[in-house]
Amino acid sequence: MKERVTQRFLKYVAVDTQSDEASDTFPSTEKQKVLAKMLVEELRRMGVPQVEIDEQYGYVYAKILSNRPDGEKVPVLGFIAHMDTSPEVSGADVKPQIIRQYDGKDIVLNKDKNIVLSVEEFPELVQYTGQTLITTDGTTLLGADDKAGVAEIMTMAEQLCSHPEIVHGDIAIAFTPDEEVGGGMDHFDVGRFGADYAYTVDGGALGELEYENFNAAKAVIHVTGRSVHPGDAKDKMKNAAVMAMEFHSELPKQACPERTSGYEGFFHLTDMHGSVEAAQLSYIIRDHDREKFEKKKQLVESICSKLNERHGGAFFAAEITDQYYNMKEKIEPYLFLIENVKTCMKKLDIEPHIQPIRGGTDGARLSFMGIPCPNLCAGGHNFHGRYEYCCVESMEKITQLLILLAQK
């Protein structure tokens, strides 16, 4: 099983599926459909009886039918992973490096560029001493987010199809595009998926189990300036670029990603550009607590009002869009989903580690669409960057975990 999940993972990361947040199409990049079609063909070769691709939107849906000898109808369990990789770092021409029997020391990813995966900066590396790691060559991301999850679900499917002695109910599978740009559930067909409950396989280290995530919004601040020749600008010019910096200075200094952890929320400036005439600031707003989340959005509005009053005009405007909400309220009535995972993890000598997600998953949105959907580990670290890596032994154990859950 270890060899199969590794082979699949290496095959999938070779396909560039990077999504594009600036695109106005869905999926945001057509190349995601290349992997989708590969997965469809592979599932069909395994003998999965129901497999289809949404030709327009790129979703893959599959169902492995129940083989329960008693014929009893039980709830349909689903597993989901996303096919796209983050727009933050290139996902093209990925060159994975396999580190066997890792020695617990720094890993030179790229000698020519002096890119090193160091134990000092990433101390969790030492826990993988003696195991097999897959890293990048330091020039791209790896794609473990979430091709590790895809490989684990596909290997689970292969095991269920080739071992009829593993008794299970109907198992639904879905692979989604555009999760990294927040669109994974935009056109997801709940009926086509057909699950009663589901898990996303989109987390980090072995043992992670998550059913709380951020409430999330995007805020775009539009600043309108007034351009006047600098030689005659006194008391006339309104420099939008400078005013944009003024807006940012009004936000709480400690409420940013680099200074928060756990349940602490933040305002994250993701993009800024401008001139004297006009400027724009783009933020993501995050908080686990819904009340604090709403107050963060209100603060953005109030700062705009405050600065408009200070400058004597309508120079600042906020465009705020909610993206997703904390799944906790939808999962809590179905905590057996969490207990089942904990039970299965303990059978595999995996220590469950329940923590809040400092981000979101397709499962968060799906939970609000009627299918409670916690998140499981996929086995990777340092997602969205050139220092990303995953552990082969973790991927093997997670595949075993999925098989146990299917039986559960």
Cβ-proximal residues to 254 (8 Å cutoff; 6+ apart), any chain: 260
Arithmetic mean of pLDDT, 122-139: 97
Q: Name the catalytic one among 137, 146, 178, 179.
A: 179
Task: Please give the backbone phi and psi of residue 180, each rounded to the nearest 5 degrees, phi first.
Answer: -70, -20
Amino acid 180: pLDDT: 95
Question: pLDDT-derived band of residue 334, with 50, 70 and 90 as boundaries?
Answer: very high
Q: Are 51 and 172 in contact (CB under 8 A)?
A: no
List the domains of the chain with CATH numbers. 2-212+326-407 (3.40.630.10), 215-324 (3.30.70.360)
Q: Are 201 and 153 in contact (CB under 8 A)?
A: yes
Please state, for a pLDDT cut of 90, what percent of the chain lies above it.
96
Per-residue pLDDT of 355-392, as tens digits, reads 898 988 899 999 999 999 999 999 999 999 999 999 99
Amino acid 194: pLDDT: 97
Cβ atoms within 10 Å, residue 120: 8
Q: Are 249 and 288 in contact (CB under 8 A)?
A: no
Taking the alpha carbons of 350, 352, 353, 356 in that order, is the dihedral positive or negative? positive
Q: Name the catalytic one among 54, 84, 210, 362.
A: 84
Helix H or strand E segment including 317: strand 316-324
Within 212-352, residue ranges assigned H as helices are 240-249, 290-311, 328-331, 336-347
Amino acid 408: pLDDT: 86
- Which residue type does 142 have? L
CA 402 – CA 257 distance, rounded (Å):
32
Measured between alpha carbons, how far is residue 328 from residues 182, 264, 288, 290, 336 in Å?
Answer: 19, 16, 9, 11, 13
Phi and psi based region of residue 27 (left: phi greater than 0; alpha: psi -120 to 50; beta: remaining): beta
Determine the Cα angle at 49 with ends 47 and 53, to 5°: 105
Out of 43-47, 67-71, 291-295, which region has the weakest mean confidence (pLDDT)?
A: 67-71
- 3-state SS, residue 149: helix
The one-character DSSP state at 200 is E
What are the counts of helices (DSSP H) followed by strands (DSSP E) for the chain? 10, 18
Arithmetic mean of pLDDT, 192-221: 97
388 catalytic, yes or no? no
Arithmetic mean of pLDDT, 340-344: 98
Annotated binding site for Zn(2+): 82, 145, 180, 202, 384
Alpha carbon of residue 357 to chain centroid:
10
329 catalytic, yes or no? no
Amino acid 83: pLDDT: 98
Whether the predicted pLDDT of 182 surpasses 90 = no
Statement: the pTM of the whole predicted model exceeds 0.85:
yes
Helix axes 144-162, 32-46, angle to 10 degrees: 20
The β-bridge partners of 266 are 286
Question: pLDDT-derived band of residue 321, with 50, 70 and 90 as boundaries?
Answer: very high
> Mean pLDDT for the chain?
96
Task: Find where tokens 């009053």 sit.
Answer: 309
Amino acid 349: pLDDT: 98
Q: Is 259 exposed, middle or buried (0-12, 13-18, 19+ CB in 10 A)?
A: exposed
Question: pLDDT-derived band of residue 127, with 50, 70 and 90 as boundaries?
Answer: very high
Helix H or strand E segment including 398: helix 392-407
Annotated binding site: 82, 145, 180, 202, 384
Task: Please give the backbone phi and psi of residue 271, each rounded to the nearest 5 degrees, phi first.
Answer: -160, 145
The one-character DSSP state at 208 is E
Cβ atoms within 10 Å, residue 75: 10
